[in-house]
Structure 1
């Protein structure tokens, strides 16, 4: 008798799912048996990507979400929960990354700093806050917050992004403490520099720094992260919480 896929029966919301890591997470989680709602501010693109995956036989659909607007977040979560008839897991992947670096801390624009913090930090908190009541009902909810290994080694000329991802790691620990009594596991997945649309602007020298500095000396691809994400959403990780798991080929050791 064949075993069921590892996430069979799970209902998962993935933010930032129109492209890059979020889209890849959504596909991988759906292929692992979950029903998935893909959420993104890029309304047309996320609908297109969800349709493409649905045509492959995966149980996915799309909604629009704006992490800078609490009302949008609340509406999106309610829509996702209604569509899925509940919620078992959340991947907080949505974030501002493109165009948020390249200048020193002395030159950084204050408005850009505020936008990055609003979306990456406050937005992650508000999405989680909206999802928690539904994850409690699940009885074994899982939250995976996507951070970055830049917060562990202090990448230069990227201060707002690095600070926001450091905040995600710290928030995860606090969330894990608060939500443990409800049997909700909260963990951080921190990638290294990954080849996605958001990293196309990154100078070649930074790519070379990563490849040459890794224990496994090659470029990182979105698929390198999927196994860890699926594990953290599965019943196999039911006693793992408050952790920051680095998946970066050994560029930074935790």
Structure 2
């Protein structure tokens, strides 16, 4: 298959639905063989089957970012099928993590968010690095909530700020391997994981963007394709906000 990602094998976590599913399809349409991973095993299998039936080259593996042993086992299995050229760290605990202010926030929920969104991203990247070919690319999915300080969402905002900081450190450490690491910061996107977000928060975004209106997964996928392609071959350690101009970096 031709395309910007022809002959590349790319892992996408959190790929069963929402942004991750759109990433998987978009990368496959650009010629990549996509390795889809998610904790939602049933939804993952359904999405992988649907994309395969449409002509996409797909592999799928269940993964739990809260379990270090599961991360290692999944990437060992991925490695048995060959090297990879890219990784999209999209999986995160994002549903049901807001609504309380910093004075009320549940410390146990804080720990769960950090375990998945921060430690899980680090451990996934660590497991992937031995499989990455020289010239490989990693895209970490952060959030623009960390750029403007969304209220009543403390742990999620903090976790995505940490992802941005880790991206810069990873880029310096992995540069000697010629592996690039960048982050994207999508705005509030209309997907299953954001259905719980109050209508007023959606309206805040949709009315406050330079490009007014709702944001959808396809508004984000093109930037991920570019960061994984050879067109961005000298770009690393950068943060790309993708939010229609709600906040500028």
TM-score by length of 2: 0.99
Distance (whole Å) between structure 2 residues aligned to residue 220 and residue 76 of structure 1:
32
Pairing 1:88–2:85 present: yes
1:15 corresponds to which residue? 13
Contact 1:147 1:165 in 2 (8 A): yes
1:180 corresponds to which residue? 175
Distance (whole Å) between structure 1 residues aligned to residue 233 and residue 76 of structure 2:
25
Pairing 1:203–2:198 present: yes
Distance (whole Å) between structure 2 residues aligned to residue 61 and residue 174 of structure 1:
30
1:230 corresponds to which residue? 225
Contact 1:51 1:61 in 2 (8 A): no
- What root-mean-square deviation, in Å, do the aligned CA atoms of Structure 1 and Structure 2 show? 0.9
Distance (whole Å) between structure 2 residues aligned to residue 78 and residue 18 of structure 1:
20
Q: 2:122 aligns with which of 121, 125, 133?
A: 125
SS at 1:139 equivalent? strand
TM-score by length of 1: 0.97
Distance (whole Å) between structure 1 residues aligned to residue 198 and residue 209 of structure 2:
17
SS at 1:88 equivalent? strand
Instruction: Kindly report structure 1 stretches of 4+ aligned residues shifted beyond 2 Å.
Output: none
Pairing 1:149–2:144 present: yes
Structure 1 unaligned regions, length at least 5: none
SS at 2:84 equivalent? coil
Structure 1 residue 82: Cα displacement: 2.3
Paired residue total: 249
Distance (whole Å) between structure 2 residues aligned to residue 232 and residue 128 of structure 1:
16
SS at 2:189 equivalent? coil
Structure 1 residue 55: Cα displacement: 0.3
Contact 1:190 1:245 in 2 (8 A): yes
Pairing 1:102–2:102 present: no
Contact 1:18 1:38 in 2 (8 A): yes
SS at 1:140 equivalent? strand
SS at 1:245 equivalent? strand
2:60 corresponds to which residue? 62
Q: Deviations over 1:163-213 (max 9, x none)?
A: 000000000000000011111000001100000001001111101100111
Q: Deviations over 1:69-117 (max 9, x none)?
A: 111001111212323x211000000000000001101000011000000
Structure 2 unaligned regions, length at least 5: none
1:216 corresponds to which residue? 211
Structure 1 residue 229: Cα displacement: 0.2
Q: Deviations over 1:200-247 (max 9, x none)?
A: 011111011001110000100000011100000001111000001000
